[in-house]
Amino acid sequence: MTLPPKPVARPDKVSLWRYMRLFRRDILSAQPARLYRAWMAEFRTPFFRSFLINDPALLREVLKDNPDSYPKSDRIGAGLRPLLGKSVFLTNGAQWRAQRRIIDPAFEGGRLRDTFPGIVAAGQAGCGRFAAMADDTPRAIDAAASHIAADVIFRTLFSLPIEDETAGEVYHRFQAYQQAQPILNLAAFLPLLRWMPAFFRPGVRGQARAIRRLIADLTQARLDQIAAGTAPDDLATKIMTTPDPETGKTFSKAEMVDQVAIFFLAGHETSASALAWALYLLATHPDWQDKVAAEAATFDAVFSDLSRLSATRDVFREALRLYPPVPMMVRQASKATIFRSRRVPAGAQIVLSPWHLHRHERIWDAPDAFDPARWQDGATKTAQRDGYLPFSAGPRMCSGAGFAMIEGVVLLAQLVGRFRFAPVAGQVPVPTAHLTVRARDGIMLRITPRD
């Protein structure tokens, strides 16, 4: 059995300088192999202490039982704040709770049905673009997946197709930003080195400013439509007109720009990553690709048909397990505590790593294997509960988790229903972490029409 690719781990012991260089190049390969078995690992340097936790009990403590004691690290915003401002992804405490009270209603179960036509339309448009690529020559699937995911976001958020001039420019600038800026930089782990955030890669700040200007234009146009009573009933309108049930306030224009930036980042980059890896996994496992195609043949692109796509859903879950779009998250201990008999000082960085948790050798059977059937195996229920965090968990679980699962399943069914995907001999993608888990040199696949 050929296992899906994963990066080669670094040697267990390296100098701090070597670790910093490896980390800056790629978060995943900078970590030692022992993290795939360890319940906890402590990292000490002259500048900081951090604790990576895989222990299910500790994860419950940090994410579910006592989340206010482990807020998002202030340093996590060092790399992303130029783009995301004070978005819900970066805030804590009362500000974060107020933001979630406004945002969450737009993604409640009943309202997800309203986003379904936009997802389907983006998938259909994407199939049209794939048709032009379906000539059995090697094609870069990453860019095509990004294009569809961006189209989904603009259609469901602003009722605009990707062909809209402003939407298209935002998309292309995000592509450049994604290549330049990792979701975590060293500043997130070095809280005493205040000079670290200055090390942005070339173009990051300029792209962030340009993206925010474009989003501000879209937001102002929607505010004008709301005032005129002509706004479409999409996600942007729902969020911009929803008052905080406790204060009665709605988002200001500046606050909405911050939120749209994270919606696009979370809804576009993460979905594009997951879709590209799912297509690669199906290309290298044609038996599962045939199962998805068979389900797609029964899918009439109506919301009630989603229940027919059970194998497709399991494939997407397994893709998220093997290649979680956000590989690591960082929290900060607000007070001293004890983890597994070790003292954790106040201010220590608490690293949660879906990448290592999803492949943990003590939690999952055959952790590096692609096996969508595990999601219907009752024996894996404990692993599914304790070892799966593609959208985080607890109060800070991603608001759009349900949306993302619908989007991924629908797009997979649409694409695999119309096309066959096959790997390119000798080209195995190497996972690396930028904004999301991507392939270092891209994912190349052969695409042909399905009879």
Q: Are strands 342-344 and 337-339 parallel, antiparallel or unpaired?
A: antiparallel
The strand pairing partners of 432, in sequence order, are: 438
Main-chain phi, psi angles of 196, to 5 degrees? -60, -40
> Quick one: which of 310, 388, 394, 319 has its CA closest to 356?
388
Main-chain phi, psi angles of 305, to 5 degrees? -80, -10
Q: What secondary structure does DSSP assign to 155-176, as a single string? A: HHHHS--TTSHHHHHHHHHHHH
Spatial contact of 82 and 185, defined as CB atoms under 8 Å apart: no
Spatial contact of 261 and 244, defined as CB atoms under 8 Å apart: no
Q: What secondary structure does DSSP assign to 345-362, as a single string? A: -TT-EEEE-HHHHTT-TT
**What tokens appear for 291 in the block?**
């199962």
Buried b (16+ CB within 10 A) or exposed e, 206-245: ebbebbbebbeebbeebbebeeeeebeebbbbbbbebeee
127 known ligand binder: no
Instruction: Give dist(CA 273, CA 148) in Å, integer.
Output: 11
**What tokens appear for 356 in the block?**
């290592």
Instruction: Give dist(CA 204, CA 219) in Å, integer.
Output: 22
Residue 261, CA atoms < 13 Å, CB-side half-sphere: 30
Binding annotation for heme: 398
Binding annotation: 398
